[in-house]
């Protein structure tokens, strides 16, 4: 019998392989050029330093040692963790609430779903522009509301104590609706008889939510959480126009710091070193995700 | 019975919904009113398109639109063609090394081009492409994500259809074009919506590789326009912001269901 992709013996198998590789070639060339090669080149660059005359000298782990002594690197990493902790649990909780509401026969369901989801389709840079105005001292919306209560103006983004919270609130607003749709998908897979059975048994709504719905949504929650954490390491667009990582690096994030080191300070060896750290973090998160979750959860 | 929702809950859901559209509504409102009303709300404020006219004249937004449309089309066309061919190779052909090749492809799902900015910039500059639209597009044109989605879809194509096409004398490319591609249409639509939304909104990489009006997409144009140093007033900036979001937002409002389903299907952006 012939294989379903044609005979698998002799010259046919060989032709098969040639055809397959020809089909793969265009994608493979670009993938290698812009993913595999850059990863290796980044690792290599991180082991060299540039001399003033432009030549590269092997430096071993010098760049990494410098990184461990770099307070801004630790600040950026710490901010990233704080940013993830600040945005992920809250937006997931809100997303669950939104999904539970929208999944019911609530009045104006279509409008609610639309309102919750809309921030997701906006460019981060536009969102940053809008929110920048809210946070503007004195003149901005937030300070005008405070003025009604007789409070003085506050430089929200200019104060290291408030800047992260301001950015976190904005990102929660941007992301919650996106996570909502995954909960909606998961909720639609819970058989309605389960709820009915529990209701017949006399269980209250909160009880059903706690003991039936939330546990059944656990895989979805983990899936959303890991995606959200991965995403939080890539979200830096807003920093470019809102704070530039300031004041005094209070709001900088790892990817933004890489961007600054590479293109403002022009130190590509050190930027490569920082990139290695980011790549390691993202790979670890992705391995958890692909190795564990994708086997258990199917959305399609 | 448990489907009943208390009035308090309905009220909370609505309050949250209004909070959620308020920032957008504010941007829209202030862009349609004179600058004096940007910070003071009044129902009697006169309506005007003046802010849009000023934004349009103060910066080449027409050109930025064109750039973004060219960019998004170029990326999507590249992604669709390359990923179709690659997914077909993985599904339809048995060849040595296909497992490893697929695993290497999936690597891009973990390490997206968005984080490899330093080395990708170096490569683009070596290729002499800096400050062009292809420079923005190239790192994204081979999408592991598209290959992955299409491979899943192609796998579900019934073998009988392929055998039937083969009996009729169809060659490998004809089978792809006449059997696989038409059946994968929903996947193509879902991926296209996600890709267009992502690249319409993408910012950091275009910011890095572009440096002129001729190549800058809308998002970068907006950032340059809205920079505090330029001293443009809020209403005009908001008009520019609205212009940047409008096409995608309108498309979303019209094809809401399609968008939500695509994002859901795509899982990760």
Whole-angstrom distance, CA of residue B63 vs CA of residue B7: 50
Which pLDDT does position A64 carry in this prediction?
A: 93
| Residue written as token pair 């403002």 | A264
Same domain, A40 and A134: no
Same domain, A141 and A20: no
Phi-psi label, residue B72: left if phi above 0, alpha if psi -120 to 50, beta otherwise: alpha
Name the pLDDT band for A282 (thresholds 50, 70, 90): very high
**What residue numbers bound the domain in which A77 lies?**
65-296
pLDDT in tens, B35-54: 777 666 677 777 888 888 88
| Residues from chain B contacting residue A27 (CB–CB below 8 Å) | 82-83, 85-86, 105, 142, 147
- Does A38 reach chain B within 8 Å, measured CB to CB? yes
Where along chain B do its domains lie?
66-266
What is the C-alpha end-to-end distance of chain A, expressed in Å? 34
Segment B228-247 mean pLDDT: 81
| Residue written as token pair 């003025």 | A147
Mean residue pLDDT across chain A: 85
Residue A206 CB coordination number (10 Å): 9
- Does A122 reach chain B within 8 Å, measured CB to CB? yes
Identify whether the C-beta of residue A299 lies closer than 8 Å to the C-beta of residue A219.
no
Which pLDDT does position B231 carry in this prediction?
A: 62
User: Helical H runs in B142-217?
Assistant: 144-155, 159-167, 172-175, 181-183, 185-201, 204-209
- Does B88 reach chain A within 8 Å, measured CB to CB? yes
**Residue-level length of chain B:** 269
Same domain, A117 and A217: yes
Same domain, A37 and A184: no
Please tell me which residue of chain A has the smallest CA distance to B91. A5
Residue A289: CATH number of its domain: 1.10.3720.10
- Measured CA to CA in angstroms, residue A266 lies from A62, A218, A261, B122 at distances of 18, 45, 6, 12
The fold for domain B66-266 equals MetI-like fold (1.10.3720)
| Residue written as token pair 């048994």 | A201
Could you tell me the two tokens for B216?
């800058």
Examine the pLDDT at A297 and tell me if it is beyond 50: no
Residue A133 CB coordination number (10 Å): 21
Q: Residue A81: helix, strand or coil by DSSP?
A: helix
Same domain, A40 and A69: no
In 3D, which of A211, A168, A194 has the Cα closest to residue A82? A168
Which of A31, A130, A290 has the CB atom closest to B241's CB atom?
A130
Structurally, chain A folds into a number of domains equal to: 2
Identify whether the C-beta of residue A3 lies closer than 8 Å to the C-beta of residue B94.
yes
Same domain, A139 and A288: yes
Which pLDDT does position B143 carry in this prediction?
A: 92
**Looking at CA atoms only, how far is residue B163 from chain A in angstroms?**
8
Same domain, A143 and A251: yes
Q: Does residue A4 lie within any of the structural domains?
A: no
Same domain, A159 and A15: no
To test the contact with chain B by mutation, choose from A123, A197, A280 the residue with the greatest count of B C-beta atoms within 10 A, namely: A123
Whole-angstrom distance, CA of residue A17 vs CA of residue A27: 16
- Exposed/middle/buried for residue A240 (C-beta within 10 Å: 0-12, 13-18, 19+): buried
Q: Does residue A145 lie within any of the structural domains?
A: yes
Q: Does residue A86 lie within any of the structural domains?
A: yes
Peptide bond into A247 cis (omega under 30): yes
Which pLDDT does position B78 carry in this prediction?
A: 96
pLDDT in tens, A258-268: 999 999 988 88
DSSP code of residue A95: H
Residue B135 CB coordination number (10 Å): 23
Which neighbouring-strand residues pair with A49?
A57
- Measured CA to CA in angstroms, residue A69 lies from A64, A65, A220, A255, A256 at distances of 9, 7, 39, 18, 19
- Does A250 reach chain B within 8 Å, measured CB to CB? no
pLDDT in tens, B176-192: 898 999 999 988 998 99
Selected residue with higher pLDDT from B40 and A40: A40
Identify whether the C-beta of residue A74 lies closer than 8 Å to the C-beta of residue A248.
no
- Measured CA to CA in angstroms, residue B225 lies from A132, A141, B55, B72, B218 at distances of 14, 21, 9, 21, 10
Selected residue with higher pLDDT from B160 and A298: B160
Name the pLDDT band for A8 (thresholds 50, 70, 90): very low
Whole-angstrom distance, CA of residue B145 vs CA of residue B5: 40
Segment A91-118 mean pLDDT: 89
Same domain, A41 and A70: no
Are A268 and B116 a contacting pair at CB < 8 A?
no
Examine the pLDDT at B113 and tell me if it is beyond 80: yes
**Phi then psi for A58, rounded to 5 degrees?**
-65, 130
Examine the pLDDT at B87 and tell me if it is beyond 90: yes
Same domain, A153 and A283: yes
Selected residue with higher pLDDT from A7 and A138: A138
Which of A26, A231, A272 has the CB atom closest to B85's CB atom?
A26
Whole-angstrom distance, CA of residue A228 vs CA of residue B115: 16
Which pLDDT does position B203 carry in this prediction?
A: 94
Report for A42-56, A149-163, B52-66: range of highest mean pLDDT: B52-66
In 3D, which of A225, A255, A224 has the Cα closest to residue A238? A255
| Residues from chain A contacting residue B246 (CB–CB below 8 Å) | none
Name the pLDDT band for A291 (thresholds 50, 70, 90): confident
Which of A117, A275, A290 has the CB atom closest to B260's CB atom?
A117
Identify whether the C-beta of residue A83 lies closer than 8 Å to the C-beta of residue A293.
no
Which pLDDT does position B77 carry in this prediction?
A: 96
pLDDT in tens, A182-205: 898 888 888 877 777 777 777 777
Instruction: Provide CB contacts within 8 A for A260, sequence distance 6+.
Output: A245, A252
Examine the pLDDT at A14 and tell me if it is beyond 80: yes
Instruction: Provide CB contacts within 8 A for B222, sequence distance 6+.
Output: A123, A125, A126, A129, B64, B240, B241, B244
Same domain, A98 and A166: yes
Name the pLDDT band for B230 (thresholds 50, 70, 90): low
Same domain, A79 and A200: yes
Which pLDDT does position A167 carry in this prediction?
A: 94
pLDDT in tens, B117-155: 999 999 999 999 999 999 999 999 999 999 999 998 999
Name the pLDDT band for A298 (thresholds 50, 70, 90): very low
């Amino acid at each position: 019998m012939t294989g379903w992709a044609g005979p698998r013996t002799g010259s046919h198998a060989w032709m098969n392989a040639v055809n397959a590789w020809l089909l793969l070639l265009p994608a493979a060339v670009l993938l290698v050029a812009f993913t595999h090669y850059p990863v290796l080149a980044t690792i290599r660059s991180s082991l060299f330093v540039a001399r003033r005359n432009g030549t590269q000298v092997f430096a071993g782990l010098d760049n990494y040692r410098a990184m461990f002594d770099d307070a801004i690197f630790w600040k950026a990493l710490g901010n990233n963790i704080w940013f993830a902790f600040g945005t992920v649990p809250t937006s997931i909780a809100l997303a669950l609430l939104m999904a539970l509401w929208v999944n019911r026969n609530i009045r104006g369901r279509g409008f609610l779903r639309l309102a919750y989801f809309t921030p997701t389709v906006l460019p981060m840079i536009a969102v940053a522009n809008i929110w920048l105005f809210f946070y503007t001292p004195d003149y901005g919306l937030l300070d005008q509301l405070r003025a009604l209560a007789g409070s003085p103006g506050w430089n929200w983004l200019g104060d290291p104590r408030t800047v992260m919270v301001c950015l976190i609130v904005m990102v929660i607003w941007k992301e919650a609706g996106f996570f909502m749709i995954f909960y909606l998908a998961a909720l639609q897979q819970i058989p309605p008889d389960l709820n009915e059975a529990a209701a017949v048994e006399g269980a209250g709504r909160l009880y059903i939510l706690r003991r039936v719905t939330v546990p059944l949504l656990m895989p979805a929650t983990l899936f959303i959480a890991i995606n959200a954490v991965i995403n939080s390491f890539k979200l830096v667009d807003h920093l470019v126009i809102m704070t530039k990582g300031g004041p005094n690096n209070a709001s900088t994030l790892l990817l933004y710091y890489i961007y600054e080191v590479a293109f403002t300070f022009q130190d590509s060896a050190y930027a490569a070193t920082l990139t290695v750290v980011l790549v390691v973090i993202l790979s670890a998160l992705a391995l958890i995700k692909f190795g564990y979750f994708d086997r258990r959860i199917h959305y399609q | 019975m448990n489907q009943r929702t208390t009035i308090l809950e309905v009220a909370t859901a609505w309050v949250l919904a209004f909070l959620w559209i308020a920032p957008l509504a504010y941007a829209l409102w202030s862009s349609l009113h004179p600058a004096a009303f940007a910070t003071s709300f009044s129902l009697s404020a006169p309506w005007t398109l003046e802010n849009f006219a000023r934004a349009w004249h103060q910066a080449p937004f027409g050109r930025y639109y064109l750039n973004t449309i060219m960019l998004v089309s170029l990326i999507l066309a590249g992604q669709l063609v390359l990923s179709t061919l690659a997914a077909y190779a993985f599904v339809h052909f048995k060849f040595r090394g296909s497992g490893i090749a697929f695993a290497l492809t999936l690597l891009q799902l973990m390490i997206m081009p968005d984080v490899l900015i330093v080395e990708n910039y170096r490569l683009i500059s070596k290729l002499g492409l800096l400050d062009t639209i292809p420079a923005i597009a190239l790192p994204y044109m081979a999408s592991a994500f598209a290959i992955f989605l299409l491979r899943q879809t192609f796998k579900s194509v019934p073998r009988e259809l392929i055998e039937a096409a083969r009996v009729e004398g169809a060659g490998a490319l004809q089978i792809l074009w006449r059997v696989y591609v038409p059946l994968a249409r929903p996947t193509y639509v879902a991926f296209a919506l996600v890709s267009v939304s992502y690249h319409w909104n993408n910012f950091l990489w275009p910011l890095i590789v572009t440096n002129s009006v001729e190549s800058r997409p809308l998002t970068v144009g907006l950032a340059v326009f809205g920079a505090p140093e330029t001293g443009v007033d809020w209403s005009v900036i908001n008009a520019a912001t609205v212009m940047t979001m409008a096409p995608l937002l309108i498309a979303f409002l019209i094809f809401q269901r399609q968008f939500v389903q695509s994002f859901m299907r795509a899982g990760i952006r």
